[in-house]
Amino acid sequence: MKLVTFREKNPNENRLSLFPPAIKKLTGMGVEVLIPQDYGLHLEMNDSVFQEAGAKTYADEVEASGVSDFSVRVRAPGIEDIKLLKKGSIHASFMDPFTNPAVLDDFNTCGISSVSFEMIPRTTLAQKMDFLSSQANLAGYVAVIKAAESLNKIFPMMMTAAGTVTPVKVFIIGAGVAGLQAIATAKRLGAKVEAFDTRPVVEEQVQSLGAKFVKLDLGDTGQTDGGYAKELTKEQMEMQQEMMAKCCEQSDVVITTAQLFGRPAPRIVTGEMVNRMNPGSIIIDLAAETGGNVEGAVAGEKNIINGVTVIGAKNFPGHVAHVASQLFGNNVLNFVESYFDKEKKKFNLNLEDEIIQGCLMTHKGQTVNEMYLNITGNK
Ligand code: NAD
């Protein structure tokens, strides 16, 4: 089996989908790994690092696309690149199918079986190939580091001869993978941390990291069967906002991470709430790329609103691209290895398998993903 990767076309994407340790394991399994020339140069990694792991370097993208059985990228390719892929081959990447449904038509037109990494079920069995978790974890870390860098205060308490400095207060909204890592990082830096989530099940996880869980009785909230948050009603959102406003007012740093699977992120921090915060405070909106939790947050921008710095996250895992690529590569390896037929030396696209059913988007010219078809009402 030939497995190819490409240079990412999106100028904001600096992560790699394959990394030397994963390449070494793949080639050891008998997979021929093809990488473009100068693949990791922007991360100070020469071709030799990838070649030593067993990869072959190619110069001709058209040829490499046409001969490969499996292609992998961080982000989905455009139609021009999809057209180059071998008919009947498999493609896998973050496809963002809910905001980019046209990509499914492109894969169908070209007869490519496509896998969307963000659709891999969040089950224990699939943990080692959970791309969302590996990247969200890093986003949570980067959010805190960025906040610490932008804040004109220090996170820990310091008792010095010149006086005592109190720890900063950090409020984290949404305690999923990114939020929990943000809590852990802020705690390690010495901040006083509070967190809120609509899923009551995370209270214990928040407390186990040494943070306070802010409680609010919103009535029935809960989570979907897949473990994702349910959307709140209008009344529940209003109740939540009043409590959020009070917590934000008392915080030096607010980090929002709230997401809803398959839909735009909920708007939680309004302009009025931002205005009520102390000048000099920092807000980091980790959901800025998916609609934004904070009014006025723009992905990739730092805006000062009434003295409050509002930072909209844009590819935060890319700020630590070396580690992000290492973990991404391991996720790719674990995915491929789980379905690799060692005798035939090829990927076995087992349509009966639960994980494959969860993440396979297109196959034999048809959009086949049940969850996608249900959520988008195409079924
Ligand atoms: P996510 O990125 O979809 O959302 C982030 C957090 O925002 C969630 O905790 C969600 O409850 C919260 N949120 C949504 N609306 C909110 C609102 N209005 N106010 C406050 N918070 C709000 O979440 P995620 O980190 O991708 O995790 C999704 C689910 O997957 C979770 O249940 C998580 O435990 C589960 N998960 C399971 C595994 C596993 O078992 N292998 C691995 C990772 C994640």
* 379 residues of the chain, pLDDT tens digit each: 999 999 999 999 999 999 999 999 999 999 999 999 999 999 999 999 999 999 999 999 999 999 999 999 999 999 999 999 999 999 999 999 999 999 999 999 999 999 999 999 999 999 999 999 999 999 999 999 999 999 999 999 999 999 999 999 999 999 999 999 999 999 999 999 999 998 889 999 999 999 999 987 777 776 777 778 788 888 888 888 888 899 999 999 999 999 888 889 999 999 999 999 999 999 999 999 999 999 999 999 999 999 999 999 999 999 999 999 999 999 999 999 999 999 999 999 999 999 999 999 999 999 999 999 999 988 7
Report how far ligand 1's centroid is from the alpha carbon of 288 (Å).
16
Residue with tokens 């199918």: 97
pTM listed for this prediction: 0.94
Q: Which of 246, 256, 66, 110 is nearest to 173 (CA)?
A: 256
> Could you tell me which residues come within 8 angstroms of residue 229 by beta carbon, excluding any fewer than 6 positions away?
197, 198, 199, 221, 223, 258, 259, 260, 261
Among the candidates 294, 314, 334, a domain finishes at 314
In whole angstroms, give the CA distance from residue 176 to residue 220.
Answer: 19
Q: Which H or E run contains 366? A: strand 366-367
Q: Is residue 27 part of a domain?
A: yes
Examine the domain organization and report whether 46 and 78 are in the same domain: yes
Domain that holds residue 177: 139-314
Which two three-digit tokens encode residue 333? 């390896």
Strand-pair category, 360-363 with 346-347: unpaired
Long-range pairs, 154-160, Cβ under 8 A, ≥24? 154/190, 155/186, 155/189, 155/190, 155/191, 156/189, 156/190, 156/191, 157/190
- What does the pLDDT read at residue 216? 78
In the chain, the number of structural domains is 2
Q: Is residue 72 part of a domain?
A: yes
Which two three-digit tokens encode residue 197? 């989530």
- What does the pLDDT read at residue 181? 98
Q: Is residue 8 part of a domain?
A: yes
Between the CA of residue 190 and those of 128, 155, 157, 244, what are the distances in Å? 31, 5, 7, 22
In whole angstroms, give the CA distance from residue 362 to residue 18.
Answer: 23
Strands (E), 198-338: 212-213, 253-256, 282-285, 302-305, 308-312
Among the candidates 279, 314, 349, a domain finishes at 314
> Could you tell me which residues come within 8 angstroms of residue 374 by beta carbon, excluding any fewer than 6 positions away?
none
Cα distance from N-terminal residue to C-terminal residue, the chain: 34
Atom index in ligand 1 nearest the CA of residue 227 equals 32
Examine the domain organization and report whether 250 and 121 are in the same domain: no
Q: Is residue 223 part of a domain?
A: yes
Among the candidates 276, 294, 314, a domain finishes at 314
Q: Which H or E run contains 146? A: helix 131-150
Examine the domain organization and report whether 105 and 61 are in the same domain: yes
Examine the domain organization and report whether 8 and 120 are in the same domain: yes
Q: Is residue 16 part of a domain?
A: yes
Examine the domain organization and report whether 241 and 270 are in the same domain: yes
Examine the domain organization and report whether 169 and 287 are in the same domain: yes
Q: Is residue 134 part of a domain?
A: no
Examine the domain organization and report whether 154 and 302 are in the same domain: yes
Atom index in ligand 1 nearest the CA of residue 136 equals 25
- What does the pLDDT read at residue 236? 86
Residues lining ligand 1, judged by CB closer than 6 Å? 122-124, 127, 130, 132-133, 136, 173-179, 196-199, 202, 223, 227-229, 232, 257-261, 266, 268
